[in-house]
Structure 1
Amino acid sequence: MSDRSTAAGPQRTCIGCRQVTEREQLVRLVRVDSPDGGTPQLRHDPTGSAPGRGAWLHPDATCLDRALRRGAAARSFRSAVDTGHLARDLESVITSPTRKRGDEAMDIR
């Protein structure tokens, strides 16, 4: 018998935080050719079925920031990609980090 637990569905790894989670909890990113023939652009794939290699990301601003700072998209696609439009492209699906109770800065004056 296997010690592995059965997953509810396909598992993917977030390129921002590197957590493995169910595919339905992530958004898919794809590389598309630039209209001017320059560096390919990274775009959101809302259907999750665009052809070609994909990368997966939690719909969270923190994961997006980590992925962009660490160059995770270029590694995932094994080539340079233009991420300039990505934040605007993901605007409708990305959630902002929310402050939890107790996270407020302490005033030590």
Structure 2
Amino acid sequence: MTSSSPQYTLTKHKPQRTCIACRRLADKRELVRLVRTAGGSVEVDVGGKKSGRGAYLCRSWSCWQAGLKGDRLARVLRTTITADNRQQLMSRGEELVLGVGCAKSE
């Protein structure tokens, strides 16, 4: 007589995060992380490994525009965002989402 034990399939846990603009829940790897550094500035963290308070945006341009408009990102990260820092984030968002390189044609 053989005993048959139930077969279990192990599925690896995938961390879920919410986009601060559209509130869509997605896998952490699908979103782009913005992080408040120890110095108080906000940077794009493509690898998702920098230390600091983080917020996530979808890889769509409309989410980047909505997330960086107003004080939503500043509230989530509990910091103030300067106009210069906001412009840097918008430029980096264009590179990531729209594929616009550093050398823009004007």
- In the superposition, the TM-score normalised over structure 2's length comes to 0.69
User: Structure 1: where are the runs of 5+ without partners?
Assistant: 1-5, 34-39, 97-109
After TM superposition, the runs of 4+ consecutive aligned structure 1 residues lying more than 4 A away are none
If asked which structure has higher relative contact order (CA below 8 Å, sep 6+), I would say 1
Secondary structure of 1:64 counterpart: helix
Counterpart of 1:67 in structure 2 is 67
User: Structure 2: where are the runs of 5+ without partners?
Assistant: 1-10, 100-106
1:89 aligned onto 2:92: yes
Counterpart of 1:52 in structure 2 is 52
Change (3 A) 1:76 1:7: farther
Q: How does 1:35-46 map to 2 (within 5 A)?
A: 40-46=40-46
Which has the higher Rg, Structure 1 or Structure 2?
Answer: 2
* 8 Å contact from structure 2 (residues 64, 93) kept in 1: no
CA distance in structure 2 between the aligned counterparts of 1:69 and 1:87, rounded to whole angstroms:
10
* 8 Å contact from structure 1 (residues 31, 81) kept in 2: no
Secondary structure of 1:75 counterpart: helix
1:29 Cα shift?
0.5
Change (3 A) 1:18 1:70: farther
Change (3 A) 1:79 1:92: same
CA distance in structure 2 between the aligned counterparts of 1:65 and 1:76, rounded to whole angstroms:
16
| Structure with the larger helix share | 2
Aligned alpha-carbon RMSD (Å)? 2.2
- In the superposition, the TM-score normalised over structure 1's length comes to 0.67
Counterpart of 2:8 in structure 1 is none
Among the aligned pairs, what percent are the same residue?
34
